[in-house]
Amino acid sequence: MAQGRFISYLRVSTDRQGRSGLGMEAQRKAVADYLNGGSWQLIEEVIEIESGGKNDRPQLQAAIERCRAYGAKLVVAKIDRLTRDAGFLLSLRDARIDFVAADLPDANRLTVGIMALVAEQEREAISQRTKAALAAAKARGVQLGAYRDGQFVGRVGTREDVQRATQARMRKADAIAQDRHMALLDADPDGTAPYAAIARRFNEWGVPTPSGRGSWTAAAVSRLKARLTLI
């Protein structure tokens, strides 16, 4: 049974289909049948009139952004409503959202499984390269430990290491802020709402916090707005 929050994406290929509703009601019914039962919330339905052969579809991008903002899953009636291009399906990995097709619900798990295998292989390759680089540095006489209680423990981070780590944290924080931007616009469309009111709305809507834990506060909303002005 379906669980959680969803954004549905319906697509037809022609203006005529869009005006007449041909195919749209069938897709809507398929999504409703998939969601039937369980504990779920359909936040929004997004409709696009565009060929499946095109990847630059603004309404699909809007649906993805709303999934990010509300921590929701994208649901479509048929897998070809997303695209006929397998490469584009894989690019949803980079969108940092989950998706499911009502006609083939297991496809999502299969896709994620394939990605996980590839990612695991890459992690192992990176680990091997890192170990080889550290061994080479040690052979050159580079001290790889932190001085503690008269002994060197672990690896000493260089200034470049610290800079890279800081930049990585900043990029992650920027990405999370961008994901919440849509929800912020919904909660404060004219930019005048008090931070406490926005935090209250975020908590009522179930918008995930930057850490994924706890509740929104006025201070957290202030930091979100500040970060968005810097991106």
Q: Which residues are catalytic?
A: 13
Give dist(CA 106, CA 102) in Å, integer: 9
CA atoms within 13 A on the CB side of 82: 26
Phi, then psi, of 71 in degrees rounded to 5: 60, 35
Which amino acid, residue 15?
Answer: D
- What is the spatial distance between Cα 106 and Cα 103, in angstroms, rounded to a whole number? 9
**Shortest CA distance to 79 belongs to which of 148, 22, 31?**
31
Is-contact 78 102, C-beta < 8 A?
A: yes
